[in-house]
Structure 1
Amino acid sequence: MRKIFGYECKRLLCNKFFIGLILVILFYGWQVLNRVTILGVSHTAPFSPWSYGDYLSRMIPLLWIGALFFLTFFTSKAERRRKVITSATPVKPSIYGLVRCCAALTGTALLALVVILLAIVFYGQMFHWYDWSSLLLPTFLTLVPPLIFALGSGWRLGRLSAWLLFVWMLVPILLMTLPLPEFLGLLNGNVFVERPLTLNILDPAFSLSIGTVITQCVLLLTGILFLVVSPTKSKKH
């Protein structure tokens, strides 16, 4: 299993797409940090959980697209032809599918790590600020649920049709343009801008409504279910 996992990771990570995506993330992320985050959002400090969360939410569309692009490696026409060979291996299809999901998850986690490390460098260079324990909660709540959901839902959609993955890539971009209610505010980052203003204090402590937390939990659990429940069933060709 380790050899299969290593092979799949090598396919996903050792290619021009992965390198190009990292360069795009670094460029765009640095622009956001220097032009938006540095000013602070809603009268909060640039290194507050609110400003940091706003930065993460602006990076989610790129991370979402990256996660789905990893899945396209498993749904292309060439991959469907290769399935004739892989189906002859002694590895159970369910295990093989799970290994592929783990490889895609590894690639997505590395992209998210790049986003986080970029913020670390920025805060250290600009403000000599290193209190990262205060940002662990917004990091988890902002990044983990939508990215797990992207992988899980993309895994299911890709088994139906490869082109559905490309359509699904547009979802976070569309959400960024919609005036969502507060309990959906983490889907487009509006909660980081609007909620501090409703707390009526300067630079308030980070907090989220129960509805927002529940929404993120539902996203996370749904993504996990999509990944682990019958992940390798596909229509016959």
Structure 2
Amino acid sequence: MIKIFQYECRRLLWNKFFLGFLLVLLFYGWQVLNRVTILGVSHTAPFSSWSFGDYLSRMLPLLWIGTLFFLTFFTSGKARRVTILTDAAPMSRRRYALARSAAALVGTGMVSLACLAEAAVFYVRYFGFVRLELLLPALVILPPALVFALGSGWLLGRYRGWMLYIWMLAPILCMFLPLPDCLGIWNGSFFHQYPLMLGTLDPAFSLPWSILFVQGILLFLGIGLLLVCPQKLPFSTKTSPLYDTLSCGGGYDAKKDSSDRR
């Protein structure tokens, strides 16, 4: 399982898509930091947790899209053809799924760390320090959303690969919808409205229980979906003649199989 995990990590991270996406992510993030974050949000300092949280909420749609793109490496037509070989291997499908999920989680973690590292460089360059309290909004925003993206995307992609591309639009739609306060992180409204409601200039960062509850639900739901492995998938090859050939060592007659299907 470790070798499969290492192979999937190399396949995800050592390719043109990952490098290209990382460059786009860093470029967009630097523009947000230099044009929005540096001004501060809702009369708060640019190095406050409020401004940093606004930066992360603006980066979230791109991180969500990148996370789901990682899963397309496992749900594409080419990947489904490879499942004929993996089904014939002695390792269970659940272990293959866990190895691939772990590889996608590593890729997601790396792009998230790149996003945080870029913000750290920005704060050191302009203000000469980085506040440890910025970790709180990072932990509240990124892990629940991205783990949920992995879990839900993995489940959707195993049934229909094209559904991943539709699911990529979810955070973009959230940016334009009037969401309730408990979902304010998803459209950025929380970081613009909540500081003004506290009645003080540049208030200390705080989170209402409703947001913590929703983010916690998303985190545990994402973990649960990642651990789910359906017993029989629509694209299963366990009943195919080619699977019987590979697993039993027999010969495979394509013409016979074609006539049997007819």
TM-score (norm 2): 0.88
The DSSP-based 3-state class of the residue aligned with 1:100 is helix
1:123 CA displacement: 0.2
Q: Matches of 1:116 and 1:231 in 2, distance apart?
A: 35
Q: Matches of 1:236 and 1:24 in 2, distance apart?
A: 34
Q: Is 2:41 the partner of 1:70?
A: no
Deviations 1:37-82 (A, max 9, x none): 0000000000100000000010011110011001001111111111
Matches within 5 A, 1:221-236: 221-230=220-229, 233-236=232-235
Deviations 1:78-119 (A, max 9, x none): 111110011111211111100100000000000000100000
Residue matched to 1:177:
176
The DSSP-based 3-state class of the residue aligned with 1:50 is helix
Q: Matches of 1:17 and 1:61 in 2, distance apart?
A: 17
Find the structure with the greater CA-based Rg.
2
Q: Is the 8 A contact 1:75 1:158 kept in 2?
A: yes
Q: Is the 8 A contact 2:97 2:229 kept in 1?
A: no
Q: Structure 1 residues 94 and 206, CA, compared in 2 at 3 Å: closer, same or farther?
A: same
Q: Is the 8 A contact 1:144 1:220 kept in 2?
A: yes
Residue matched to 1:43:
43
Q: Calculate the aligned-residue CA RMSD, in Å.
A: 1.1
Q: Is 2:120 the partner of 1:120?
A: yes
Residue matched to 2:110:
110
* Structure 2 residues without counterparts, runs of 5 or longer: 237-262
Runs of 4+ with >4 A deviation: none
Deviations 1:123-158 (A, max 9, x none): 000111222x21111100011101000000000100
Q: Structure 1 residues 231 and 59, CA, compared in 2 at 3 Å: closer, same or farther?
A: farther
* Structure 1 residues without counterparts, runs of 5 or longer: none
The DSSP-based 3-state class of the residue aligned with 1:73 is helix
TM-score (norm 1): 0.97
How many pairs align? 236
Residue matched to 2:185:
186
Q: Is the 8 A contact 1:94 1:230 kept in 2?
A: yes
Q: Is 2:199 the partner of 1:196?
A: no
Residue matched to 2:17:
17
Deviations 1:155-194 (A, max 9, x none): 0100110100000000000001112121111122211111
Matches within 5 A, 1:24-173: 24-131=24-131, 133-173=132-172
